[in-house]
Amino acid sequence: MQTIQHFINGEYTPSASGQTFEKRSPLDNRLIARVAEGGQAEVDAAVAAARAALRGDWSRMSTEKRVAMLHAVADEITRRFDDFVAAEEADTGQPHHVIAHAFVPRGAANFKIFADVIKNVATEAFQMDTPDGRGALNYAIRKPKGVIGVISPWNAPFLLMTWKVGPALACGNTVVVKPSEETPATAALLGEVMNAVGVPKGVYNVVHGFGPAAAGEFITRHDGVDAITFTGETRTGAAIMKAAADGIRDVSFELGGKNAGIVFADCDFDAAVDGIFRSAFLNTGQVCLGTERVYVERPLFDRFVQALKLRCESVKYGRPKDAGANYGPLISQEHKRKVLSYYERAVAEGATVVTGGGVPPLPAELAEGAWVQPTMWTGLPETATVVREEIFGPCCHLRPFDSEEEVLALANDNRYGLSTTIWTRDLGRAHRMADGVEVGITWINSWFLRDLRTPFGGSKQSGIGREGGVHSLEFYTDLRNVCIKY
Ligand code: NAD
What would the pLDDT profile of 21-57 be if each residue is shown by its tens digit?
A: 999 999 999 999 999 999 999 999 999 999 999 999 8
Q: Which helix (H) or strand (E) holds 126?
A: strand 125-128
pLDDT of residue 259: 98
Q: What whole-number distance in Å separates Cα of residue 62 and Cα of residue 252?
A: 27
Structure confidence at residue 1 as a pLDDT band (50, 70, 90): confident
Amino acid letter for position 380:
L
Which tens digits make up the pLDDT trace of 80-102? 999 999 999 999 999 999 999 99
259-451: CATH, from 1.10.3720.10, 3.40.309.10, 3.40.1080.10, 3.30.450.40: 3.40.309.10
Nearest to 102 by CA among 449, 342, 368: 449
254 carries an active-site annotation: yes
> Residue 160 pLDDT more than 90?
yes
DSSP letter (8 states) at residue 481? E
pLDDT of residue 480: 98
User: 88 CB under 6 A from ligand 1?
Assistant: no
Query: Which of 233, 252, 258, 418 gets mutated to test ligand 1 (max ligand atoms within 8 A of its CB)?
Result: 233
Distance from Cα 121 to the centre of ligand 1, integer Å: 31
- Contact of 215 with 17, CB cutoff 8 Å: no
Residue nearest to atom 8 of ligand 1 (CA): 180
458 CA closest ligand 1 atom index: 41
pLDDT of residue 201: 98
Strand pairing category for 125-128 and 250-254: unpaired
406 carries an active-site annotation: no
Residue nearest to atom 13 of ligand 1 (CA): 211
Residue nearest to atom 11 of ligand 1 (CA): 211
- Residue 470 has φ and ψ, to the nearest 5°, of -70, -20
Q: Of residues 288, 312, 395, 396, which has the active-site annotation?
A: 288
Domain residues of the chain, as ranges?
A: 2-255+462-485, 259-451
Q: What sign does the CA torsion over 386, 378, 461, 206 have?
A: positive
Structure confidence at residue 311 as a pLDDT band (50, 70, 90): very high
DSSP 384-445: SHHHHS---SSEEEEEEE--HHHHHHHHH-SSEESEEEEE-S-HHHHHHHHHHS-SSEEEES
178 CA closest ligand 1 atom index: 9
Which tens digits make up the pLDDT trace of 339-356? 999 999 999 999 999 999
Q: Of residues 42, 76, 182, 254, which has the active-site annotation?
A: 254
User: 209 CB under 6 A from ligand 1?
Assistant: no
Question: Measuring CA to CA, how many Å separate 32 from each of 89, 275, 367?
Answer: 12, 34, 17
Which tens digits make up the pLDDT trace of 135-151? 999 999 999 999 999 99
Residues 187-195, mean pLDDT to the nearest whole number: 98
Which tens digits make up the pLDDT trace of 457-467? 999 999 999 99
Q: What whole-number distance in Å separates Cα of residue 479 and Cα of residue 5?
A: 36
Structure confidence at residue 59 as a pLDDT band (50, 70, 90): confident
Task: Please tell me the CATH code under which domain 2-255+462-485 is placed.
Answer: 3.40.605.10
